[in-house]
Amino acid sequence: MGGIRVRLRRPRGRREQAAAVLVAVAVTTALVKAVSAAWEAAVRGWPVAVVLAVTALSGLAWRQLQGMRRRRARAELLAILQIPLERIDALGDAEFEDALRDLLIRDGWSARRVGQKGDQAADVIGRHAQRGRIVLQAKHTTVGGKVDSKVMYQVKGTAGPVHKADVAVVVTNGGFTRDAKAWGERHQIHWVDRERLRQWAEDGAPLHELLRLPVRRPRRAAVRRAA
């Protein structure tokens, strides 16, 4: 069944016309009053809204300013970072990886710690505008402990294929066996033993200078020129 249809007709006669005029006046008056009331409420409430907005913006600005100050303070500390070997010897494995990351940042690399279970022989990964991408494998040990060739094999197998590294380095606060050093030098796996770590962390020598890393062309530029 269809719905009931309502058809409006124009008022007839003076009485109906007068009644229609009165209804229109009443509706218009009600609308004017509603709009006026809404406007007055907005005018009365605007100081509160402004205060709330200013408070929120001030809080956001304060948090951003504090964040900038913390980042600046950290950058200033990293710029002069020097870590004595005795302090490094006392670190845990994760703290040692953090220290290597900070040393890279001090030397101008953008670096992050990635070491965890299943890290595929990479504890710190960094990038340098002129030196490329670097992978560090950290081996924190007792003084006098030695890293063997097996670690070099692992780093060689993952640094390029898995992590796309241009430079691979094994770093320890101990030493390396003679075979590990020789194998690393033949296969371009750099090593940093206790003496080199002293020069890097304690004396402040940049790692890329210590290892004599070459300046590399950016990969994108190289691809464009080859094309």
User: Which pLDDT tens digit goes with each residue over 6-36?
Assistant: 445 565 666 666 666 676 777 778 777 877 7
In a domain, 89, yes or no: yes
Do 70 and 102 sit in the same domain of this protein? no
Write the CATH number for 119: 3.40.1350.10
Do 126 and 169 sit in the same domain of this protein? yes
**Number of folded domains that form the chain:** 2
In a domain, 1, yes or no: no
Q: Any residues with CB less than 8 A from the CB of 8 and at least 6 apart, and which?
A: none
Better-scored residue on pLDDT, 186 or 61: 186
Q: Which domain holds residue 214?
A: 85-225
**What pLDDT, on the 0 to 100 scale, is given for residue 60?**
72
**What pLDDT, on the 0 to 100 scale, is given for residue 28?**
78
Domain end: 29, 62, 80, which one? Answer: 80
For 174, the 3-state DSSP assignment is coil
Mean pLDDT over the full length of the chain: 81
Domain end: 58, 80, 102, which one? Answer: 80
Do 15 and 100 sit in the same domain of this protein? no
Do 37 and 141 sit in the same domain of this protein? no
**Region for residue 108 given its phi and psi (left: phi exceeds 0; alpha: psi -120 to 50; beta: otherwise):** left
In a domain, 219, yes or no: yes
Give yes or no for residue 153 having a pLDDT over 70. yes
Neighbour-count burial for 34-59, b at 16+ CB within 10 Å, e otherwise? eeeeeeeeeeeeeeeeeeeeeeeeee
Do 200 and 91 sit in the same domain of this protein? yes
Give me the DSSP letters along 147-160. E-HHHHHHHHHHHT
Do 91 and 70 sit in the same domain of this protein? no
Do 161 and 105 sit in the same domain of this protein? yes
In a domain, 5, yes or no: no
Do 140 and 184 sit in the same domain of this protein? yes
In a domain, 6, yes or no: no
Do 93 and 205 sit in the same domain of this protein? yes
Nearest to 136 by CA among 148, 127, 144: 127
Better-scored residue on pLDDT, 47 or 122: 122
In a domain, 62, yes or no: yes
Do 132 and 207 sit in the same domain of this protein? yes
Contact 143, 105 (CB under 8 A): no
In a domain, 4, yes or no: no
**What pLDDT, on the 0 to 100 scale, is given for residue 37?**
74
Do 116 and 212 sit in the same domain of this protein? yes
Give me the DSSP letters along 27-43. HHHHHHHHHHHHHHHHH
Mean local confidence (pLDDT), 141-156: 93
pLDDT band at 224 (very low <50, low <70, confident <90, very high): very low
pLDDT band at 1 (very low <50, low <70, confident <90, very high): very low
Give me the DSSP letters along 181-197. HHHHHHTTEEEE-HHHH
Domain end: 80, 108, 128, which one? Answer: 80
**What pLDDT, on the 0 to 100 scale, is given for residue 219?**
56
Give yes or no for residue 208 having a pLDDT over 90. yes
Which tens digits make up the pLDDT trace of 178-204? 999 999 999 999 999 999 999 999 999
Percent of the chain topping pLDDT 70: 68
The tokens 């690393």 sit on which residue?
184
Which tens digits make up the pLDDT trace of 69-100? 666 655 665 656 899 999 999 999 999 999 99
Do 160 and 57 sit in the same domain of this protein? no
In a domain, 164, yes or no: yes
Better-scored residue on pLDDT, 16 or 4: 16
pLDDT band at 171 (very low <50, low <70, confident <90, very high): very high
**What pLDDT, on the 0 to 100 scale, is given for residue 31?**
76
Give yes or no for residue 101 having a pLDDT over 80. yes
